[in-house]
Amino acid sequence: MNLQLTLISLLFFTSAIAETFKNLDSHPQFPCKPPHFSSYPFCNVSLSIKQRAISLVSLLTLPEKIGQLSNTAASVPRLGIPPYEWWSESLHGLADNGPGVSFNGSISAATSFPQVIVSAASFNRTLWYEIGSAVAVEGRAMYNGGQAGLTFWAPNINVFRDPRWGRGQETPGEDPKVVSEYGVEFVRGFQEKKKRKVLKRRFSDDVDDDRHDDDADGKLMLSACCKHFTAYDLEKWGNFTRYDFNAVVTEQDMEDTYQPPFETCIRDGKASCLMCSYNAVNGVPACAQGDLLQKARVEWGFEGYITSDCDAVATIFAYQGYTKSPEEAVADAIKAGVDINCGTYMLRHTQSAIEQGKVSEELVDRALLNLFAVQLRLGLFDGDPRRGQYGKLGSNDICSSDHRNLALEATRQGIVLLKNDHKLLPLNKNHVSSLAIVGPMANNISNMGGTYTGKPCQRKTLFTELLEYVKKTSYASGCSDVSCDSDTGFGEAVAIAKGADFVIVVAGLDLSQETEDKDRVSLSLPGKQKDLVSHVAAVSKKPVILVLTGGGPVDVTFAKNDPRIGSIIWIGYPGETGGQALAEIIFGDFNPGGRLPTTWYPESFTDVAMSDMHMRANSSRGYPGRTYRFYTGPQVYSFGTGLSYTKFEYKILSAPIRLSLSELLPQQSSHKKQLQHGEELRYLQLDDVIVNSCESLRFNVRVHVSNTGEIDGSHVVMLFSKMPPVLSGVPEKQLIGYDRVHVRSNEMMETVFVIDPCKQLSVANDVGKRVIPLGSHVLFLGDLQHSLSVEF
């Protein structure tokens, strides 16, 4: 949302207004203040949320209603309602990208957790929930100090479809199941009133499925927003921008790739906000696509408000040319189901749209009911927040030791060891007399967090933290910045490398290469970074340790195959604790266990058009497909790659070899009639009756995980399946279960995967209907295979 649209410069004017009223005092303004404004029905906590919202809307004039249709909602002084800023950010910690959060007050920092792509690499649902919960605590504390709102626009749950995408770092990766489950856990942790106690076993994924029952009343601690709906994953590429791009998506890909994260975020996560994206989908702007937005409400049970991205209502007319006037754009968005516009477009054009008969006041009322209902669920109209459930949260709850330890644990678990020839790592700090650190990111704190980073509680570089282990540590940038356009600094880097026992080169990406409004054009290391790595490796006494930063995949085939580069570690954007986590892993105080949540492609993948939204490979046009589920080309590193300092082995203790689906079918179903007529069935198409009956066919896959090495460690167990190719577009394989377990040296533990065949063993057909292929499904667990016959 870092807009560069000239047509919405007024947005920044409203942001300035928001900043002004937000810092009027050290406490948030609130409606229903006694004695003059507390007697309205919308202040009566004994009434239902719906009754209170209806009452409030009924008291507003049309201009007052229109004043609510911006992220900076106007005050209604005669009713004692102060202005409200809807736009706050909390992707991986509180951030001041939007006007809702400010660090210009008594609170000047907040915990900076690792970027989402790094936390996702932990494959630990418990960790994701706890991060959401911790960020929410800090969010409420900031609100109490008058420095944040109650509505936050996170998480980003778009699938990381193309490795060049500048915002892929903000997502949980390329697998729809992982993205979906991250979204659910983060939203639940963020929104729930009653938080789970912080678990002591963060090494493992230990989810308590009964922890959400206490929030049945619909009340919220904070509001989370699932974005960007839908098929949004292009910033600027070729002649396309996110403002005018039309994502052409097949029904098949929509059903089993692009939509699942949003459906689960709403159905299971109970998100209270949905953000529609800039792009069009199959010719219709996402914020004007009523069938998609209403599907969320009607089919998925969405109860919340829908906001546009900033200023995605304006782009309907100004960039996409979908309507003939601003009034038509506003009318189409409101009729489609958009409740609020980030920006000023609705403020400026709704009145005339109503006067021209393009939209009714009743539809504006519908939008306001959704908006006020969320504010009421947040307790905004319940009186002084200092006397409420969260009134005691304050500056002591921000940057706490618990939250810093959580951020550290998330970074530890997300860092991925990609190469470790001849067990170069871990280093023994007692046997390392000197260390050389090379690379522009090694001593730079500005981009450690990635996009949507606020003001971290602490600012320490990778170099500073490595100094804690080896006092004789020297540093040379090698390149003046990450773009590395010149080799003038190579001499100094080579000189310090020659004299050190061990050399660590920090290479990769930063926000100058990938960010909002900027996609990459290459998958190689920027500029002359590759040459820097090779020059240093050529003179180093021992094989070099290569540390890679950045969210997007990088083609480091040269380093993977070079024996002079002994280890490769991916740290992504590790947040404020990144240096400590990296040092602990290099020197063996923590055993790495992260796994890549994306496929790392070779540079040749840049020949594929980023604008091509197809997921499935198509050999007839030389199209290799996308993500590990469908990609058929060469890889640098595969999805799920990740090494450890120890060795883990698996044994499948129990799993069915046959699964009959006959009991799912009603007697008069078309499938049974086909069988009665001797017709062969290749797959079972799912419908609501079958899906609701599918619980009876759930089965367990019990697995023993043994640590046969000499070091304790946590390990991500990943269960994949390969379907029989009985219809077009079947995945090469797909993840059906994962679990992070902690196993001590020379011990073993058991984990159980519960498989729902309607979810894990199904795929979308070419018309977007879920089907279960019949025949042999092969389950993969590391090198183990298990055949499961799915039949009638």
pLDDT tens-digit readout, 394-406:
999 999 999 999 9
What is the predicted pLDDT for the residue at 709? Answer: 97
Give the model's pLDDT for residue 672.
54
Residue in 781, 650, 751 with CA at minimum distance from that of residue 707: 650
Q: Output the pLDDT for position 21.
A: 40
Catalytic residue among 309, 311, 332, 519: 309
**pLDDT exceeds cutoff 70 at 137:** yes
339 CB contacts (<8 Å, ≥6 apart)? 69, 305, 306, 307, 366, 367, 368, 370, 371
CB 152 within 8 A of CB 232: no
Enumerate the H helices of 86-175 as residue ranges: 116-120, 125-144
pLDDT band at 16 (very low <50, low <70, confident <90, very high): very low
Whole-number pLDDT of residue 205: 61
Span 260-303, pLDDT tens digits: 999 999 999 999 999 999 999 999 999 999 999 999 999 999 99
pLDDT, one tens digit per residue, over 302-319 is 999 999 999 999 999 999
Q: Give the per-residue pLDDT at 688.
A: 72
Listed in sequence order, the DSSP H helices in 419-488 are 462-467
Alpha carbon of 88 to those of 212, 227, 427, 584, 591: distances in Å? 25, 14, 43, 34, 36
Reported confidence tier of residue 14, pLDDT bands at 50, 70, 90? very low
Question: pLDDT tens for residues 331-368?
Answer: 999 999 999 999 999 999 999 999 999 999 999 999 99
Q: pLDDT digit string (tens) for 185-224?
A: 999 999 997 665 544 344 456 544 444 444 557 899 999 9
Tokens 């560069």 map to which residue?
Answer: 4
The CA–CA distances, whole Å, from 703 to 593, 640, 741 equal 18, 18, 11
Q: 409-429: buried (b, 16+ CB within 10 Å) or exposed (e) per residue?
A: bbbbbbbbbbbbeeebbbbee
Q: What is the CA radius of gyration of the chain?
A: 27
**Is the separation of the CB atoms in 328 and 369 below 8 Å?**
no
Instruction: State the Cα–Cα distance between residues 284 and 276, nearest whole angstrom.
Output: 12
Q: From start to end of 287-374, where are the E strands?
A: 305-308
List the structure tokens of 509.
């990406």
List strands edge to edge, sheet with 502-508: 416-420, 565-572, 544-549, 502-508, 435-438, 473-476
Residue 615 has pLDDT above 60, yes or no: yes
Query: Rounded to the nearest 5 degrees, what angle is found at the Cα of 712, between the Cα atoms of 711 and 714?
Result: 125
Residue 346: phi and psi, rounded to 5, are -70, -35
Mean pLDDT of 526-533: 98
Give yes or no for residue 4 having a pLDDT over 50.
no
- Please name which of 129, 157, 174 lies closest in space to residue 226, comparing C-alpha atoms: 157
pLDDT at 690: 80
Rounded mean pLDDT, 600-608: 98
Per the rule left: phi > 0, alpha: psi between -120 and 50, beta: everything else, 308 is beta
Strand residue runs (E) in 181-266: 225-229, 236-237, 240-241, 246-247
* Count of C-beta atoms within a 10 Å radius of residue 78: 11
- What does the pLDDT read at residue 209? 45
What tokens appear for 619 in the block?
């050999």
CA gap 119, 413 in Å, rounded = 7
715 has pLDDT over 50:
yes
pTM here is 0.95
**pLDDT tens sequence across 644-697:** 999 999 999 999 999 999 877 765 555 555 555 456 789 999 987 787 788 889
pLDDT for res 10: 42
pLDDT score of 139 more than 80: yes
Rounded Cα gap, residues 10 and 342, in angstroms: 11
Per-residue burial over 328-353, b if 16 or more Cβ lie within 10 Å, else e, is bbbbbbbbbbbbbbbbbbbbbbbbeb
The whole-number pLDDT of residue 24 equals 41
Q: Which of 470-508 are b and which e, b meaning 16 or more Cβ less than 10 Å from the residue's Cβ? A: beebbbbbbbeebebeeeebbeebbebbeebbbbbbbbb
Which region among 16-30, 77-91, 576-590 has the lowest average model confidence (pLDDT)?
A: 16-30
Across the range 451-469, mean pLDDT stands at 96
Closest CA to 701 of 655, 740, 659: 655
pLDDT of residue 375: 98
Is there a contact between 135 and 141 (Cβ–Cβ < 8 Å)?
no
Task: Clarify whether 309 is annotated catalytic.
Answer: yes
Q: What is the number of residues in the chain?
A: 792
Task: Name the band, by pLDDT with cuts 50, 70 and 90, for residue 446.
Answer: confident
Domains of the chain are: 61-86+227-377 (3.20.20.300), 410-621 (3.40.50.1700), 648-790 (2.60.40.10)
List, for residues 384-395, the tens digit of each pLDDT value. Answer: 999 999 999 999
- In the sheet that 280-281 helps form, which strands lie side by side, from edge to edge? 246-247, 280-281, 284-285
